[in-house]
Amino acid sequence: MKFTQAPLAGLWIIDPQILQDHRGYFYESFSLRKLKNATGVEPVFVQDNQSRSYHGVMRGLHFQRGEHAQAKLVRVISGVVQDVVVDIRPESPTFGKSFSIVLSDENKLQLYVPRGFAHGFLVLSEIAEFFYKCDNFYAPTHESGLFFDDPKCEINWMLNRRDMIISDKDLHLRHLADLEL
């Protein structure tokens, strides 16, 4: 596994080693020992989530507040997505900055997202199955989100807004300046 520090502190791109032959492929998708040795982080994942979405579906930008915040390890099982995070840690020098990466079943890249980030993704393929591990349980009373198209976050979405399928809930999320953290 190769671990690369992304431009926002605490955010890591994980590129697994793929063993491939005439039978198919194999790779280690997670190793706590390797993650800790390479990054210094040692999350204890307590919940796995998976979603299936269609082309143009934009989910996010979601997070949980306070003691219910979650670190996540995200990847795509099938399809292609634009994965996006925004640093919402008020004390961070990169507060309000975004980072975007294409995750797919072909590149098998993963993203480790620490607590204190809003997270979302946009489906670029016909269908995508998205999988992520969380280090804290889902807490609906502490759920929140950041409006996906807040100009202060400077996210360059890979589809036009008119081609996106967005839930009513996500269309009414707050802007960065109005977040309750």
Encode pLDDT of 72-110 as tens digits: 999 999 999 999 999 999 999 999 999 999 999 999 999
- Measured CA to CA, the distance from residue 155 to residue 61 in angstroms comes to 11
Encode pLDDT of 24-55 as tens digits: 999 999 999 999 999 999 999 999 999 999 99
Domains and CATH numbers, the chain: 45-178 (2.60.120.10)
Question: Which entry of 22, 55, 132, 172 is annotated as an active-site residue?
Answer: 132
Judge whether 27 counts as a catalytic residue: no
Residue type, 98: S
Judge whether 62 counts as a catalytic residue: yes
Question: Which entry of 25, 55, 62, 112 is annotated as an active-site residue?
Answer: 62
| Strand partners of residue 54 | 127
Tell me the three state secondary structure of residue 3: strand
Q: What is the pTM of this model?
A: 0.95
pLDDT of residue 22 exceeding 90: yes
